[in-house]
Amino acid sequence: MQVTTGVDIIEVERIKKAIEELGDTFLNKIYTKGEIEYCNRSNKMKYQHLAARFAAKEATFKAISGHIKTREDALWKEIEVINEPGGRPKINLEKLQKQGLKELKSIDVSLSHIKDYAVASVSALFEKQQ
* 109-126: pLDDT as tens digits: 999 999 999 999 999 999
Per-residue pLDDT reduced to its tens digit, 46-70 = 999 999 999 999 999 999 988 877 6
Res. 9: pLDDT tops 80? yes
pLDDT at residue 97 in the model: 85
Cα R_g (the chain), whole angstroms: 14
Q: Which domains does the chain have, with CATH numbers?
A: 2-126 (3.90.470.20)
Q: What is the pLDDT of residues 65-96, one digit of tens each?
A: 888 776 554 578 889 999 999 989 999 988 88
